[in-house]
Amino acid sequence: MLHNLSVILVRTRFPENIGMVARAMTNMGASSLILVQPERWDREKAAPLATPQGFALLDSAVLEPNLETALASFSVAFGTTARTGGWRKDVIAPEKAAGEAGAAAREGGRVALVFGSEDKGLTNDEVELCTRLVTIPTATEHASLNLAQAVLVMLYECMKVTLAFDAGNRRPAHNTDSRRATLGEERLLLATLQEILTAVDHLPEDNPGWFMQPMRRFLRKSRLRRHEFDMLMGICRQIRHKLN
């Protein structure tokens, strides 16, 4: 699974923390690091905390302008948060997230573990871009973890799932359909559906995005595959043609 997994750090404040994350990733065998709008990215300041084992990760780190762009090619994204309650519902534990990540990876999908800034975490809009929300249980008085600690816990759970699967000597399930749809494809489908549903007066023109949220949740629960995405896009094209 870990070869299909990327760690995405959003607006990380200190390069030293990126270095510690790189070291944690090498400990667990993860090799893909993506940085979204780091406040002050400095490879030389990150290197001592990464140790020589993490230098290659720092050198290959990919910089992205925003989280939406960074997630476009991924099938599932697990956003991490210390804040729960309110509208941040359906929060799962790391071991459950690892199990779901393993299932997605075995089907050929790319998996993202997303971590927000050290002081504020992920924004509500960024959480909406993720398919799942994860929290690491801690003592109530000290809920916030160091960034590298959080990455290490998540990767440890993912590595356990990988080792357990390999130990079972099981072959990956043969998929006769197609890969999972990416989050970029999901966004394209939702935008197209919103356009069509607005055109047939099913959605109000003043705030259609709010009414599309149940559709987004439905698509994510269905684990949309690429051939299903193609089918639904084809239906939308035919409806648009008839409307025109």
CATH topology assigned to domain 183-243: Helicase, Ruva Protein; domain 3 (1.10.8)
32 or 106, higher pLDDT: 32
Which pair of tokens denotes residue 211? Answer: 């009414």
The answer to whether 2-167 and 183-243 have equal CATH topology is no
CA distance 217 to 87: 14
CATH superfamily of 2-167: SPOUT methyltransferase, trefoil knot domain (3.40.1280.10)
What per-residue confidence (pLDDT) applies to 94? 95
Most confident of 64-73, 82-91, 129-138, 229-238: 64-73
Q: Count Cβ atoms below 10 Å from residue 179 Cβ, excluding itself.
A: 15
pTM: 0.80
* Percent helix, percent strand, percent coil in the chain, to nearest 5: 55, 15, 35
Residue keyed to tokens 């193609």: 230
Q: Where are the domains of the chain?
A: 2-167, 183-243
User: Quick one: pLDDT band at residue 86, thresholds 50, 70, 90?
Assistant: low
Contact between residue 194 and residue 122 where contact means Cβ atoms under 8 Å apart: no
Could you report the per-residue pLDDT of 116-157, keeping only the tens digit for each? 999 999 998 999 899 999 999 887 766 678 999 999 999 999
Mean pLDDT computed over 30-59: 95
Could you report the per-residue pLDDT of 167-217, keeping only the tens digit for each? 665 554 445 457 888 989 989 999 999 998 988 888 887 778 778 888 888
Which pair of tokens denotes residue 154? Answer: 């998540």
